[in-house]
């Protein structure tokens, strides 16, 4: 009995130590993240260089993602339309419910939150691996020795660039989703007038702005978290790969968490 | 002139640098030599401010880098140029853009003047015609030369080179050494080179600091190294057969003369 108690106490203390260490590590990361953002979100050393980088980042992070956004949104819009038609509609429901529900799903959740989750994978891993490689090849050290605020020079244009382009991507996503649902009319599952009626039924403009606000917040989460993961890499290529994966996982989790708060705050 | 006074650096429980005292003179090639893992790179990183020493001071012409404010440190950093072991060129920029980068950040000259200055620096390191190439398209030796051009483009007072010859063939190493030596003497720069290349030690080492197990064991010139009565230094310098034979020949000649 005494031995069993000893084992239990030991097991309990190991668990407590693990929890304390995890909390300590989490707080350390949070502190480092805040410090890094403090360095990044300051006035650029040279506005000319900042704008040059800003345009480049908008192109690299945003413009290069338009294709994937359009393709995914088009097909998801079509599938949502089909699923609602097949599973929800009944003789007791008005026919325009398919268009109405598709619009609300695209506008409120898919184009803002789920699209940002997908972009967290594409853009987040891109940012973390780019900055991580710069760290391990001493390019960031080179910037620091020159007297350049490396965090500001590398991270701020990415944050500003994606925050600018993300609402545009979300708008494209909504449009592609709606086009996708129109495409299902070719299969004969529904008709264009029915969809038209649904898309126009009780349209609340605020829902569009909710999507835009969410997109801007998620853009900040994706870029800042991924940049933090890349900037703090230590080691070699294996660590860069790990940082890239961690960036995607962490930014996805944070997007989902903030989605709950934003949804309850905005709607 | 850069002076290191009672410098200590620890990583948690491990003391890497122990009471380092050294002086690096103006217009001379100052070498830091030592075995791998002796603390050379840590010392260099402390000097340039990439690491903060546990205690001690680093004086840049009587300005203590450790106790400077953030703004003063940034100002002082603009007087530094550094050549990294891996060259550390920006992959996304061309050779010309790499060299122009410090000018774009800190110079208020017009584009044409900045470009002319960058091209002059590229000409100085014999890289005319390579300005539109990207770092991935040029050899290691050329990358080092681009790094030298980038380091000198703002006319620094202090030049730091972390193992500039690593990964290069002996002929290219000599070219790099000659470039660093030429720039140091022509521009009267305080140059610190971190190396374990014996050709550099014997060729350009005007003021050598030998680091062993985190301590500055010996300081002197390449002319004095043959006669240095330091066992650890002898074990390090004359570890290769050729240099040991050279040392024996030198000792014999000296014995004959005496």
pLDDT by residue, tens only, chain B of 258 residues: 899 999 999 988 888 999 899 898 888 889 998 888 888 889 999 998 889 999 999 999 888 988 888 888 888 888 899 998 888 999 989 999 999 999 998 888 899 999 999 999 999 888 888 889 999 999 888 898 899 999 989 889 999 998 888 877 888 888 888 888 888 888 889 999 998 888 888 888 888 898 888 888 888 887 787 777 777 777 787 766 766 777 677 767 766 553
Query: Is A148 at the interface with chain B, CB within 8 A?
Result: yes
Question: Measured between CA atoms, how close is B244 to chain A, in angstroms?
Answer: 36
Question: Measured between CA atoms, how close is A27 to chain B, in angstroms?
Answer: 20
Query: What's the CA dihedral at A166, A167, A170, A171 to 10 degrees?
Result: -140
**Beta carbons of B105 and A146 less than 8 Å apart:** yes
Q: What is the distance between the alpha carbons of residues B126 and A105, in angstroms, rounded to a whole number?
A: 62
ipTM above threshold 0.85: no
In Å, how far are A232, B50, B77, B111, B130 from B73, measured between CA atoms?
A: 22, 11, 6, 27, 34
Q: What is the distance between the alpha carbons of residues B84 and B144, in angstroms, rounded to a whole number?
A: 8
**Beta carbons of B82 and A144 less than 8 Å apart:** no
Could you tell me the two tokens for B64?
Answer: 């203590």
Instruction: List the B2-11 sheet strands across, edge first.
Output: B14-24, B2-11, B55-60, B63-64
pLDDT digits (tens, 9 = 90+) for A39-75: 999 999 889 899 999 999 999 988 889 999 999 999 9
Q: What is the distance between the alpha carbons of residues B228 and B147, in angstroms, rounded to a whole number?
A: 34
Q: What is the distance between the alpha carbons of residues B236 and B43, in angstroms, rounded to a whole number?
A: 19
The domain ranges of chain A are 1-40, 46-266
Q: What is the distance between the alpha carbons of residues A198 and A85, in angstroms, rounded to a whole number?
A: 12
The 8-class DSSP code of residue A267 comes to: -
Closest CA in chain A for residue B48: A145
Q: What is the distance between the alpha carbons of residues A161 and A37, in angstroms, rounded to a whole number?
A: 16
Mark out the alpha helices in B153-209 (DSSP H runs).
Answer: 170-187, 198-204
Backbone angles phi, psi at A200, to 5 degrees: -90, -15
Q: What is the distance between the alpha carbons of residues B105 and B107, in angstroms, rounded to a whole number?
A: 6
Q: Is A258 within 8 Å of A248 (Cβ atoms)?
A: no
**Beta carbons of B105 and A144 less than 8 Å apart:** no
Q: What is the distance between the alpha carbons of residues B103 and B106, in angstroms, rounded to a whole number?
A: 5
Q: End-to-end CA distance of chain A, in Å?
A: 57
For residue A142, which residues of chain B lie inside 8 Å, CB to CB?
82, 84, 88, 90
Question: Measured between CA atoms, how close is B206 to chain A, in angstroms?
Answer: 25
Question: Measured between CA atoms, how close is B89 to chain A, in angstroms?
Answer: 6
Q: Is B173 within 8 Å of B200 (Cβ atoms)?
A: yes
Q: Is A67 within 8 Å of A176 (Cβ atoms)?
A: no
pLDDT digits (tens, 9 = 90+) for A126-153: 999 999 999 999 999 999 988 899 999 9
The 8-class DSSP code of residue B136 comes to: G
Instruction: Scan for tokens 């091209």, then name that residue.
Output: B119
Pairing of strands B63-64, B55-60: antiparallel
Q: Which of B88, B148, B192 is the best residue to mutate to test the A interface, defined by the most A CB atoms within 10 Å of its own CB? A: B88
Closest CA in chain B for residue A50: B105
């Amino acid at each position: 009995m005494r031995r069993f108690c000893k084992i239990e106490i030991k097991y309990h203390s190991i668990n407590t130590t693990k929890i304390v260490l995890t909390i300590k590590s989490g707080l350390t990361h949070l502190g480092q993240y805040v410090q890094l953002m403090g360095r990044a979100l300051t006035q650029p050393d040279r506005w000319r260089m900042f704008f040059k980088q800003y345009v480049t980042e908008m192109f690299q992070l945003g413009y290069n993602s338009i294709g994937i956004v359009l393709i995914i949104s088009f097909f998801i819009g079509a599938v949502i339309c089909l699923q609602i038609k097949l599973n929800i509609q009944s003789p007791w429901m008005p026919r325009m419910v398919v268009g109405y529900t598709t619009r609300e799903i695209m506008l409120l959740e898919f184009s803002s939150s789920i699209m940002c989750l997908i972009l967290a994978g594409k853009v987040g891993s891109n940012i973390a691996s780019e900055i991580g490689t710069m760290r391990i090849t001493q390019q960031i050290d080179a910037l620091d020795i020159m007297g350049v605020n490396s965090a500001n020079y590398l991270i701020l244009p990415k944050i500003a660039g994606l925050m600018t382009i993300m609402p545009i991507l979300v708008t494209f996503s909504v449009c592609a989703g709606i086009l996708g649902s129109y495409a299902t009319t070719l299969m004969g599952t529904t008709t264009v007038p029915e969809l038209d009626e649904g898309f126009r039924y009780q349209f609340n403009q605020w829902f569009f702005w909710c999507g835009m606000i969410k997109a801007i917040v998620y853009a900040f989460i994706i870029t800042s978290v991924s940049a933090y993961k890349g900037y703090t890499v230590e080691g070699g290529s294996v660590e860069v790969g790990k940082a890239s994966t961690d960036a995607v996982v962490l930014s996805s989790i944070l997007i989902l968490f903030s989605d709950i708060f934003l949804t309850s705050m905005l709607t | 002139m850069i002076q290191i006074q009672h410098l200590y650096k620890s990583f948690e429980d491990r003391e890497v640098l122990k009471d380092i005292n050294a002086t690096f003179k103006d217009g001379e090639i100052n070498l830091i030599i030592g075995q791998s893992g002796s603390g050379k790179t840590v010392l260099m990183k402390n000097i340039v401010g990439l690491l903060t020493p546990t205690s001690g001071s680093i004086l840049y012409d009587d300005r203590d880098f450790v106790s400077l404010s953030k703004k003063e440190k940034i100002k002082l950093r603009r007087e530094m140029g550094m050549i990294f072991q891996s060259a550390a060129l920006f992959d996304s920029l061309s050779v010309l853009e790499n060299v122009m980068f410090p000018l774009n950040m800190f110079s208020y000259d017009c584009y044409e003047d900045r470009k002319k200055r960058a091209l002059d620096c590229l000409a100085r390191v014999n890289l005319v015609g390579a300005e539109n190439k990207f770092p991935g398209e040029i050899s290691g030796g050329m990358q080092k030369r681009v790094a030298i051009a980038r380091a000198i483009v703002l006319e620094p007072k202090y030049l730091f080179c972390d193992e500039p010859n690593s990964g290069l063939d002996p002929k290219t190493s000599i070219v790099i050494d000659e470039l660093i030596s030429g720039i140091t003497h022509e521009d009267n720069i305080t140059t610190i080179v971190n190396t374990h290349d014996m050709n550099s030690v014997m060729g350009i080492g005007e003021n050598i600091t030998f680091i062993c197990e985190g301590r500055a064991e010996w300081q002197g010139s390449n002319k004095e190294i043959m006669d240095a009565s330091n066992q650890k230094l002898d074990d390090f310098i004359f570890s290769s057969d050729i240099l040991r034979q050279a040392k024996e020949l030198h000792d014999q000649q000296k014995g004959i003369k005496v």
